[in-house]
Every structure is written in C-alpha cells, then in structure tokens.
Amino acid sequence: MDNGEGGTDSEGESGEESSEEGGEEASGEETGDDELVIATGADMVTFDIHDHNNTSTEAIHVNMFNYLVKTDGEGGFVPDLATEWENVDDTTWNFTLRDDVKFHNGEDFTAEDVKYTLERVANDDSLLEHGNYNQISEVNVLGDYEVEIVTESPEPAMLNRLSRLGSGMLPSQYIEENGFDHFLEEPVGTGPYQYVEWVRDDRVVLEPAENYFGEEAQYSQLTFRAIPEDSTRVSELITGGVDIATNIPPNDWERIEEEEGLKLGQSPTQRVMMLIMRTGEGEVTSDQKVREAIDLAIDNEAIVESLYEGAATPTRTRVTPGNTGANKDLYDTSVYDPEKAKELLAEAGYEDGVEINFAAPSGRYLKDRESAELIQAMLSEVGITANLEFKEWSSFVENYTSKTFDEMFMIGYGNSMFDAALALDRLTQDQNEGETDYMNEEVEELLNEAESNMDPEERVEQYQRVQEIIAEERPQIYLYQLDAVVGMQSNVDFEPRLDEMIYVKDITKE
C-alpha cells in the first residue's frame, strides 16, 4: 500500500467490482511487437481514483488519467493539464489549463472538471483520499480554462498533492449524466490509453486513446497482468509471455541475467515495509515496552542481506531521502538487540513470554511472505509468539479498509507526494482511529502546524521531530526501504522510478 500513497503512498481500498470475473493461467505465448504486457504482483483495486491509496493501482491509472502538474523527479514540478500556475497568497492558487484536451469519450476537459474532481475528494469523508485533499475549501471556475483553488489554511504541499493519485481529472459531465457506478464500469480519462477491460485478479487491458492531446501512444494494446506468484511471473518473462515483470526475487536475478534475451533493471523506491501496532487500551501492544521489544527483536540488516541480497536499506523512518522533511539520522540504521528485548518484556510483566496476532500479505510485495516468516522466528527467540496469518491481497485490503486487524500487521507504504505530510498523515488521531489508536499531543500539534507552515525550514524541523518521537514510541515500526528490481526482454528499455509509477510513454520496445 500504497502512495501511499500507497504506499501509501500508503495503500488500501475497499475494492470495486470489476467488469468481468475470472482468471487465466500463464499464457506461454510471446507478446507482439506492437503490444506491451507488464506483469505485476497484485491486481488493480479500483477505478475510483479517490477511494484507494494503492501505488500499484496508481501505476496503471497514470496511463489513463492526467494530473494538473507532474513531479520532475528533482523536487520540482512540470506542466501536465495545467500550463501555468501561481500561488496568489497563502490560501489561493490559480491554474491555467490546456485548451486542447478531450476525455476518451470526446468531451472537452475544462475548469468544471477540475472543480468536480477536487471538490468530490475534498468534501466526501468516506473516500480514502479525503484526508489528503480536505485542505481544499472551494474550487472556483474563473473561465473555461482557468481555475482557482482556495484552501482552509496555508498549504505548502499543494503542488505535491495535485501531482499524485487523488488528483487525476474526472469527466464531470459524463459522471453526472451516467452516475459514478457507470464510470467505474466504463472509466474515462484524458490519458494516452483508454479502457478496454478489467478481469478481476487477472488483467487490465488498455488501448490507445484517439483523442489524446499528446504524443500518439506507441502500443496497439497495453496489458497489466496480475501474477502474484514470483515463480510464475518469472516463467512468463522467460517464455516471452510478458515484456516486463516487476518484483523479481533475488534468487532469480542470476538466472535472468544469464538468460539470452533478458535483462534486469534496479532502482530505489519510496516503499518502506513496516509493522503497524495497535496501541489502544486493552491491547498487549498498548505497552510501549512491548512495542520496543518487538522492534529490538528484529534484525533488519539480516533480513535485507538474506532475503533481498542488499536490494533494500534498513530504516527507522518512513520519510526517506528524496522526500521533503526526511530525517537522515534515522535512515540506514538498525537497533537490533534481542537481549534488551527480553529485558523489556520482563519489565512489562511478560517474563514468561507473550502472544500476539500478526497479519501479513502474501504476494503483494517482494518477499513479503518470507519476511513475515523470518520476523515471526526472530520474535519467538525473545519470547514473543506471533500467530502469523497470511492473506491474499483482496482479503488483506478488506481488513485494512475496515480496520479490523489485531495487534500487528505488516504493510509496505510508498509516497507519491515526495513530502513528509503524506508519510506521517496516518499518525494523526483523525486518521489512526481504529488502526493504531495512537495518541501523542506533541505529535498532533507538530503535524497540524507543519501542514500549514509556509516556512520551509521550520516545517522540515517539525517533521523531523515527529519522526524522532515515532522512532521512540513505535506505533509504527519501520523495517527497510525496498529497491525495485524488474526483469524485461532485452528489446525493452525501462528504468524503474522512485515513485514506482509505470509511465508507458517512457517505455520503448525495439
């Protein structure tokens, strides 16, 4: 999970029904020269851009929908659907829009669509992305191609928010005439590819959009295949059934590199694997000493070396380098100390051991199952019996969305905002109720102040202080930041991105 953003960012979603049900085995058939097939470890969760925070879903959506602006990868922003923008004052932003954009159904993209899109997510608190956009108080149409966004308070991360997940522009007229349920069945965007079909737990198929305003799409068909099993995903790559396969496990790296016609690509990501702890009254993990014992019992460096062969970095924060507000002192470090973990458990009254429930996804993240099993074994060494339950992604998402996990669950959050605001948002009392139930007045005050602080240096200091407190109190226990390792046919040119987005326009196939 996402973007979180999803990963978080952060990730999680209730899941909409797909237009078809079913699945298929590995095809074993080579892809055509004018089509592109990408194998991922998990299925897309929905076409509702506002009701998920799942990075792998956004990675598909970016080929169907456009944002007002896009990140340039270096902390700045470049035009997308907006050509110009101005921060008029602390609470007002003006955007000038392109006047040559059409949705896939032929309707013109205008300021009315911006108003509909942003006010929907800003006003509907049932949507998972609401917390990332409720700073918006109103969106005013100044003309067909000019819009004003007004926020409740100063919004230093406005451009970050408008360059990600919940800001993909929706067709207001199409939705108002047909209803949102129809949109979910026949989604319409402004991107280079348009919807063909979604077969749940199997594939999403797209084709070039006739009305796209930019450079013509180079593939006659684009398919994202959901293949949770690592071995099956690798086999499909070797037999030519897919052009790109994500989440290649270390034990297959040498095999792929030695296979004629295949190659690997590797890059750091924003994704941090972590454990989410329940801290509410009556929970075993409400005791800070128990949470610290769990943290000290886990040898992050051993996991990174044994399971990922170095393609990950131990961390004690989710705000990793490359994000505004990163605390470098908490990155690339570990606090493994099993003897102290035993002492802490004894001090908490559990000298004879303690039992907790531990949920983890299977197949969503690289080596997620093996990581959870290793963590379970490490906890047992200090007297913590973790009753480990693996869940397929759709089942995991249901528990995540309904906040029905027990003492501890494992998840991986990304950060498509490149800002600490998203990475730390789920620590606020408004967001964590029923999940961690974490309460710290200083953290709450710092996060609220930083959210509207237009002084960039002071804002960074506020976020860094929050990370220090969280590293100590541990409502979230951070494990390691993952690298992206993908396999591809030798005639494919694809470089994994820090934000894990898969912009097909940047993928060439000779």
Distance CA(412)–CA(358), nearest Å, equals: 15
User: Cα 53 to chain center, whole Å?
Assistant: 6
38 and 77 co-located in one domain: no
- CATH number at 49 reads 3.40.190.10
Percent of the chain residues topping a pLDDT of 90: 82
248 and 318 co-located in one domain: no
Which of 50, 51, 55, 28 has the alpha carbon at shortest distance from 40?
55
86 and 21 co-located in one domain: no
Q: Is residue 3 part of a domain?
A: no
- CATH number at 466 reads 3.10.105.10
263 and 335 co-located in one domain: no
- pLDDT above 80 (res 166): yes
CB 245 within 8 A of CB 236: yes
Close Cβ partners of 317 (under 8 Å, ≥ 6 residues apart): 272, 326, 327, 330, 331, 467, 470, 471, 478
Q: Is residue 222 part of a domain?
A: yes
- pLDDT above 60 (res 214): yes
289 and 359 co-located in one domain: yes
Q: How confident is the model at residue 416 (pLDDT cuts 50, 70, 90)?
A: confident
467 and 329 co-located in one domain: yes
* Residue 294, helix vs strand vs coil: helix
- pLDDT above 90 (res 485): yes
- pLDDT above 80 (res 148): yes
DSSP bridge partners of 493: 508
244 and 171 co-located in one domain: no
472 and 344 co-located in one domain: yes
6-15, 190-199, 459-468: range with lowest mean pLDDT: 6-15
CB 399 within 8 A of CB 410: no
Distance CA(452)–CA(156), nearest Å, equals: 6
State the DSSP H helix or E strand holding residue 493, giving kind and residue range, or none if neither.
strand 492-493
283 and 417 co-located in one domain: yes
- pLDDT above 50 (res 16): no
The CA-based diameter of the chain, rounded to the nearest angstrom, is: 70
Work out how many domains the chain is built from and give that number: 3
Q: Is residue 186 part of a domain?
A: no
347 and 414 co-located in one domain: yes
- pLDDT above 50 (res 292): yes
- pLDDT above 70 (res 6): no
Assign residue 418 a region: left if phi > 0, alpha if psi is -120 to 50, beta otherwise? left
Interval 73-110: pLDDT, tens: 666 899 999 999 999 999 999 999 999 999 999 999 99
Q: How confident is the model at residue 9 (pLDDT cuts 50, 70, 90)?
A: very low
Confidence (pLDDT) at 124: 97
- pLDDT above 70 (res 417): yes
- CATH number at 82 reads 3.90.76.10
- Of 21 and 216, more confident: 216
Q: Is residue 367 part of a domain?
A: yes
For the chain, give the mean pLDDT.
92
Confidence (pLDDT) at 55: 86
352 and 473 co-located in one domain: yes
Q: How confident is the model at residue 12 (pLDDT cuts 50, 70, 90)?
A: very low
Q: Is residue 234 part of a domain?
A: yes
115 and 214 co-located in one domain: no
Q: Which domain holds residue 117?
A: 69-176
